[in-house]
Structure 1
């Protein structure tokens, strides 16, 4: 895999490590697909479904040839991530009036979010390069994923967390895995800038989505979806957008599969942001070529509280490739969608519910047709943000333990 600047095209070698080019552009991984046979890969990936204890039992490393083919298996740090459920809900389908709606529950990953798909690749790459200290800035999910993988690798992790608007659950999970948590006054974007400027000098391997291996690992989400659906994807993939790593990975993964002939057509992407943190949606809606950061982003969907998403250029390319659209939804719409997903028995954190809120809005605006199929990617677990549950659940009933009293409260 080559690492190439998206702005000037300068190339790093596979053993180099950097999150940005000297010109200031973002670095991304570029896979050489020549010599790969799509049908043979399908057969190989199907065979690996029987794996239980090797690295290929992972829902990421099952697709190693498309993720990081040069990485020696002995450097891989895995918790058999991926392998998450793909669900339907008759109640939600009927309420929307859509042909079919699927939910890919990345919330079932080992640390409870989609971040594990990318983090296993980043930490494994850093380990290959000899790093023992890993770092990230985070609104929550990235930090808990990094802390888990660093602990499994016998390494240390330093996590920089904004002092406001971050779920306490996620910070506690991060600390439980043994990470050193450093709280700071500022935003996620301030933390990213600090680590990009000073990470090397501090001897830290930075594992935010600016790390190109994170994006390569997250491509496995669409590979797994495609394999689960026998390589026939729905018309729409709906995905939440914060740092925009997921939509960037989605576009790259779809491009890989289409180039190899493993899927016959590209689905369209719908990228959903919260109204209080929607700089990318505004850029796309207004037809601008440059992103204007949101200086004070705020949404109750805390994982989307990012005002200057670092992967916006790659995300824009993904949307153009897949005739994608963007929209923003209110916190009220997100919480209503969360109630629906939770009560369907699937469950998710608020940021994940933006997908269903966005799908509902795009159907109302007749962007997505009722005769089409859509797949919503749920990025985080129901218990990632329990504070918000006080706004979406009813208070418990109280009754004396008599038949009459119980009948009264359950009537």
Structure 2
């Protein structure tokens, strides 16, 4: 198991000496070189990034560990998210590990059951509402604004930093340089903050600045 993103990228993340360095082994995901597709595309080097190797099977673990660590640092009493899948599993897992109750608001009929099963296995309290994901997120925003409960969706700025900075820098560490192109499959694309944003003192930042 790796040391986790908080220790590996501490100098790039919004952590302090009071931030607990928790980890479930997230972030140390491999790049696997493609042979057949690379040849078909006439691309000398093509890699697939296996984010499914994160603890709960998604890239959400990168940002979640940062959001949970900051919640612990700030004395939060619980964590809360709206989710249709990956976020609920990640929040529940890190919440259980850290001793923070996890509340998950899900839109009725729009949930990936495999991920919901993870959240339930980790002991999250599941609340189903009528409406879509935006309805669920609005409820979470309202509730967390009035209580000592931390919102851990990707609208949480510390979660965004954890995802954007650690994923991109992990690629640079693996390749020894910034990639020429990055292709990201998305659902609603809410997590696409630019690949270059907020990545100081790295090869990736220097190369991205040249390409702007």
TM-score by length of 2: 0.90
Q: How many angstroms apart in 1 are the aligned matches of 2:157 and 2:188?
A: 13
The corresponding residue for 1:176 is 121
2:14 aligned partner: 68
Name the CA distance, whole Å, in 2 between partners of 1:108 and 1:227.
Answer: 17
- String of CA shifts for 1:280-322, please: whole Å, max 9, x gaps: xxxxxxxxxxxxxxxxxxxxxxxxxxxxxxxxxxxxxxxxx96
Separation in 2, partners of 1:163, 1:204: 23
Equivalent residue for 2:208? 266
| 1:252 counterpart (192, 197, 200) | 197
Give 1:243 deviation, angstroms. 4.9
SS of the residue aligned with 1:181? strand
2:178 to 218, 233, 236: 233
| CA-CA distance at 1:60 after TM superposition | 4.2
CA shift for structure 1 position 261 = 5.3
The total of aligned residue pairs comes to 210
The 1-side partners of 2:8 and 2:167 are apart by 11
Match of 1:93 among 25, 34, 38: 38
| Residue 90 of structure 2: aligned partner | 145
Greater than 4 Å deviation, 4+ residue runs: none
- C-alpha contact (below 8 Å) 1:209/1:243 kept by paired residues: no
How far apart are the structure 2 equivalents of 1:261 and 1:127? 29
Q: Secondary structure at the match of 1:195?
A: helix
Q: Counterparts of 1:12-411 in structure 2 under 5 Å?
A: 57-73=3-19, 75-218=20-163, 219-230=165-176, 232-248=177-193, 250-253=195-198, 256-257=199-200, 260=201, 262-263=203-204, 264-266=206-208
Residue range with higher mean Cα deviation, 153-162 or 58-67: 58-67
Unmatched 5+ residue regions in structure 1? 1-51, 268-320, 324-411
Greater length-normalized contact order (CA 8 Å, ≥ 6 residues apart): 2
Does the CA contact (< 8 Å) of 2:80 and 2:150 recur in 1?
A: yes
- Once residues 213 and 96 of structure 1 are traced to their aligned partners in structure 2, the CA distance between those partners, rounded to angstroms, is 37
Between the aligned partners of 1:98 and 1:163, the Cα distance in structure 2 is 43
Seen in structure 2, the aligned counterparts of structure 1 residues 249 and 153 have a Cα distance that, compared at 3 Å, is farther
For the aligned residue pairs, the C-alpha RMSD in angstroms reads: 2.2
Structure 2 gaps, min length 5: none
